[in-house]
Amino acid sequence: MRIWAVANQKGGVGKTTTVVTMAGLLAEQGRRVLVVDLDPHGSLTSWFGYDPDNLAHSVFDLFQHGGRVPDGLPAQLIVETGTDNVSLLPASTALATLERKMVGVEGMGLIVSRALAQLWDDFDYVLLDNTPSLGVLMVNALAAAQHLIVPVQTEFLALKGLERMLHTLQMIMRSQKNRLAFTIVPTLYDKRTQASVRSLNELRRTYPEELWRFMIPVDTRFRDASEAGVVPSRLDRDTQGVRAYRRLLQDLNEGTTSWAGK
Ligand code: ADP
Ligand code: MG
């Protein structure tokens, strides 16, 4: 089982879009994929037509048993997405209350990791979608994942805050003794704008090793797909955006992501 977390402390950079698109592409290749919504806003959950305000059961249930995950519980929480081979562990807005409740509970950072251990034989890939805030949910994601994907919008001041966030993430990972490799993925790239071109160049200078060698372009079909409630490749197999994610997936699987190694 391969576990990838998609995270950035900024909202609107393409985290959820990355999770859904890559899940669809992996499913196309016959992989069994689980997407996990660790964002109390529940945009991943909403994408597939579930209402995070009105879900009786969600990832929140995993956190209701102290640091323990009861046998069989994770499997009971999983729902279908309408796309073959893509299953969802949904979020409910109750997740927003977690931060307060979890203070001081032993093992609270390992709940997602323990839940996924129970699903080891059921899925080939797990993609964790994250909230922009760095709390107990993000700590859980970082502890569970083997690889971290950081989408960064190529815009004016794109790097502002990125360095601090990466530093914090690395500190958490070090304290967990989880040596997590990460890949920075430039998103919403528009080659006609100065802001996109400049920020991409800045990323190349600052993170030559960690930066993915290509970019995810602006592609309006992503919004169409989220409105239709389907994975983007199902709406259209071959838009620029879908093609870029297909290449990212291949690079992640083959370990050939690096801009510096190009
Ligand atoms: P996040 O999860 O980081 O908040 P989302 O994936 O929800 O970001 O994307 C934010 C908005 O930008 C959504 O409306 C989404 O449809 C749109 N979007 C994401 N990626 C792209 C892209 N490559 N091209 C055009 N629109 C995009
Ligand atoms: Mg999101």
Q: Walk across the sheet containing 79-80 and list its strands.
A: 79-80, 86-89, 33-38, 125-130, 2-6, 147-153, 181-187
**Ligand 2: distance of its center to the CA of 10 in Å?**
9
Cα atoms found within 13 Å of the Cα of residue 231, Cβ hemisphere only: 29
Residues in the chain: 262
- Ligand 1 atom with the shortest distance to the CA of 11: 4
CA dist 194 and 154 (Å) reads 10
In short, whether 239's Cβ falls inside 6 Å of ligand 1 is no
**Residue type (1 letter), 131:** T
The residues, ordered by sequence, that sit 6+ positions from 210 with a Cβ below 8 Å of its Cβ are: 182, 183, 184, 258
3-state percent helix, strand, coil for the chain, nearest multiple of 5? 45, 15, 40
Nearest protein Cα to ligand 1, atom 19: 14
Convert the pLDDT of each residue in 214-259 to its tens digit: 999 999 999 999 999 999 999 999 999 999 999 999 999 999 888 8
Domain ranges for the chain, please list them: 2-254
In short, whether 184's Cβ falls inside 6 Å of ligand 1 is no
In short, whether 216's Cβ falls inside 6 Å of ligand 1 is yes
**Ligand 1: distance of its center to the CA of 13 in Å?**
6
Q: Which residue has the tokens 């006609």?
A: 192
State the ligand closest to the CA atom of 152.
1
In short, whether 255's Cβ falls inside 6 Å of ligand 1 is no
Report yes or no on whether pTM surpasses 0.80: yes
The confidence score (pLDDT) of residue 100 equals 76
Convert the pLDDT of each residue in 52-88 to its tens digit: 999 999 999 999 998 899 999 999 999 999 999 999 9
In short, whether 43's Cβ falls inside 6 Å of ligand 1 is yes
Q: Which residue in 26, 49, 12 sits closest to 3, CA to CA?
A: 26
In short, whether 14's Cβ falls inside 6 Å of ligand 1 is yes
Question: In CATH, what class is 2-254?
Answer: alpha beta
Nearest protein Cα to ligand 1, atom 14: 223
In short, whether 187's Cβ falls inside 6 Å of ligand 1 is yes
CA dist 122 and 111 (Å) reads 18
Convert the pLDDT of each residue in 115-127 to its tens digit: 999 999 999 999 9
**What is the phi/psi pair of residue 36, to 5°?**
-120, 125
Say if residues 15 and 130 touch (Cβ distance below 8 Å): yes
